[in-house]
Amino acid sequence: MLFFLGIRRSTIATEHLSGLACAYCHTPETLTCTVFSRYVHLFWVPAFPVGKFSVTSCQHCKQVLTAREMPASYVAPVQAVQQQAKTPLTHFALLLLFGAVVLLSLLISVFGKKEPTAAAATAASAAPVPEAVGTRYKFDVADEGRQYGLIEVTGVTADSVQYRMTNALRGRLTTASAAVALRDSVAPGNVRQRASREQWNYSSKGQGLFKRFD
C-alpha cells in the first residue's frame, strides 16, 4: 500500500511593514511580510505543523527575500509579525482525528457496558445456590409418608447434579441412621444417578419434592 506522506505549506498571515524602505529600490512603505506554516501531511490531510517561516516582498520592485537574505533592519519587524501569526487548527487535523477516535473508544468502553436489567438482577438473586457434594435430601414415598428415601449429592457439573439414592426406608431418621442407609441401602442401579440442573432445581427448590436433611 502506498502512503502519500510529505510536507506542504500554507499562508497564515500577510502584514504591511510600516516605517521601512525597500533595501533594493529604497522605496518607502512598500514592504509586506508573508508568514507560512509548514505541516506534515498524510494523503494530503494535514497531520501536524513543523514550523513557520517568513518572506518579505516589495510591491514596487517585486524583490522577495527569505530570512537568510533579509537585512538587519527587517529582522525585528518580521519576527514580530511571525510570532503573532497563529497556526490554524486545520494543520492538526490528523492528530485531532486520532485523538477523537481514542476518546470515543474510551467512552464506549466506559459507558457502553450495559447494566443488568431489573429482571436479570432478580433472576440472578433468585437463582438456586449450587449444590455441594455431600448435601443430603429426604423425600417421601408411598404408604402415607411412613416410608421415605434419602439422596446424597455425589458430584456437580455446570449443567447437571450427580447423586445416589437409597431404597425405601422406615423408622426414625437421624444423622447416624442416614449415614448407614446411604452406605448399605443403595441399590446398584441407584449408586450413580444424574439429573439436569433444571430437573434438580425443580425437585429440590421448585416443587419441593426433595427436602434438605442435615
Let me know whether 85 and 142 are in one domain: no
Let me know whether 146 and 208 are in one domain: yes
Q: What is the DSSP letter of 59?
A: T
Domain ranges, residue 203: 130-212
| Local confidence band at 33 (pLDDT 50, 70, 90 cut-offs) | very high
Q: What span, in angstroms and rounded, lies between the C-alpha atoms of 41 and 45? A: 5
- Please tell me which residue, 83 or 188, carries the higher pLDDT value: 83
Let me know whether 146 and 80 are in one domain: no
In Å, what is the CA distance from 5 to each residue of 1, 45, 130, 183? 12, 9, 61, 81
Distance of CA 111 to the CA centre of its chain: 9
Let me know whether 11 and 71 are in one domain: yes
Helix (H, G, I), strand (E, B) or coil at 173: coil
Cβ atoms of 133 and 156 closer than 8 Å? yes
Kindly state whether residue 100 falls inside one of the protein's structural domains: no
pLDDT (tens digit per residue) in 190-208: 888 888 888 888 777 766 6
Give the torsion through C-alpha atoms of 121, 123, 125, 128, to 10 deg: -160
pLDDT at 125 over 50: no
Residue found under cell 425443580: 202
pLDDT (tens digit per residue) in 69-124: 999 999 999 999 999 999 998 898 888 998 999 999 898 888 876 665 655 555 54
Kindly state whether residue 101 falls inside one of the protein's structural domains: no
Give the global pTM.
Answer: 0.48
Let me know whether 90 and 135 are in one domain: no
Helix (H, G, I), strand (E, B) or coil at 124: helix
**Average pLDDT across the chain, whole number:** 84
CA angle, 204 as apex, 203 and 209 as ends, to 5°? 60
Domain count across the chain: 2
Give the torsion through C-alpha atoms of 100, 101, 107, 113, to 10 deg: 160
Q: Which residues pair with 49 in a beta bridge?
A: 39
Q: What span, in angstroms and rounded, lies between the C-alpha atoms of 152 and 135? A: 6
Q: What span, in angstroms and rounded, lies between the C-alpha atoms of 37 and 9? A: 5
Let me know whether 31 and 86 are in one domain: yes
pLDDT at 34: 96
